[in-house]
Amino acid sequence: MAPMGIRLSPLGMAVFCLLGLGVLYHLYSGFLAGRFAFFMLGEPAAGGPDPPRGSAGTVDLRELLAVSVLAASRGGEEVKRVREGNVLNAKAKGKTREGAEEQLTSGDLLSNRRMFYLLKAAFPAVQINSEERVDTADQETVSWDRSIPEDIKQKIQPKEVPAESVTVWIDPLDATQEYTEDLRQYVTTMVCVAVDGKPVIGVIHKPFSAYTAWAMVDGGSNVKARSSYNEKTPRIIVSRSHAGKVEQVARQTFGNKTVIIPAGGAGYKVLALLDVAEKNQEEADVYIHVTYIKKWDICAGNAVLRALGGHMTTLTGEEISYTGSDGNEGGLIASININHKALIEKLPDLEKTSHK
């Protein structure tokens, strides 16, 4: 007999035990299931997508580089498809400060849509600035499987930064004027990642040859700088429309043997400073732009040069910040493996030209 005259029936004992087992199951089933799944599945399969890194408030720059390379390539596919199908639907979207007509094509718009929504889907918390307006009514669902190319895995280590410090600049079609003229070698698609206003990731993709250059500051790159620089006959690459403005000052500074290379597209001009295995890529020692230019045109090239030890500054030597307004007022001068400060001191008159 139990104390105080209470009898415990077999049925009561059974109910009590079942209730206890139910509580234990509820508490530990999730934990046990998780451990069992870890035991059964083990590590991710070799070559499969990496799991996402970082918390909701951070982004991994290696992942952001990988999706930027993919975005530039996907945008380039649209650019190439439109050009080869000759369905540009070109129209004027306004005038530059110099009075030249700016062109807008289907290639610009379709590339922009593909690039913007791929980046936005992968990193929704990151600010993205693009040359073309994003039409929310024409939204495209684009996903990223989070896989990272092997060359990026081998050269770049994961690096997390606060999402709020990141700004992505995309140029869905650089050299639109040349694109309408079918000067395909000048055309690029570009993505740049700036952290606290400093360009740290740059991707420059040439759609018609499928060549892609990428680099990450304090990380690695798949492209190298050219080491040669002939001081007696320097080669200066400039915009086709600015060649006359630069030529006179450049020849006065470096001598009559200075070579002026007119070219289209800021991305193409930066690649001219690098060791690029491209048959349609000219080579230059210095890139100069003497007028106002948009930041999505130059951010990617600036990041690539910084990663390789080069420089891109205003004509007075100031660093360009990739926050705030989308324009750079002070022109630019870019070089690599050259004394950049001495180069600026040789060209004092170009800064005056940048405001005309």
Distance CA 281, CA 203 (A): 17
Tell how many helices (H) and how many strands (E) occur in the chain: 10, 19
27 annotated as belonging to a binding site for a ligand: no
3-state helix, strand, coil split of the chain in percent (to 5) is: 40, 25, 35
Q: One-letter amino acid identity for 210? A: A
With b meaning 16 or more CB within 10 Å and e meaning fewer, what string describes 121-145? Answer: ebbeebebbbbbeeeeeeeeebebe
- Judge whether 24 is annotated as a binding position: no
- Give dist(CA 161, CA 159) in Å, integer: 7
The structure tokens 């080869």 sit at 84
108 belongs to the catalytic site = yes
Q: Confirm whether residue 174 is marked as ligand binding.
A: yes
**How far apart are the two ends of the chain, measured CA to CA in Å?**
107
Single out the catalytic residue among 60, 105, 167, 176.
176
Among 60, 105, 108, 212, which one carries the catalytic annotation? 108
| List of residues 6+ apart from 345 with CB closer than 8 A | none
- Strand 166-174 and strand 127-130: the pairing is parallel
The DSSP result for 102-148, as a single string, is EEE-HHHHHHHHHHHHHHHHH-TTSEEEESSPP-GGG----------
131 is annotated as contributing to ligand binding = yes
297 is in an annotated binding site: yes
The pair of three-digit structure tokens given for residue 35, joined into one six-digit string: 């451990």
- Catalytic (active-site) positions: 108, 176
Residue ranges at the known binding site? 131, 171, 173-174, 297
Residues tagged in the binding site annotation for Mg(2+):
131, 171, 173-174, 297
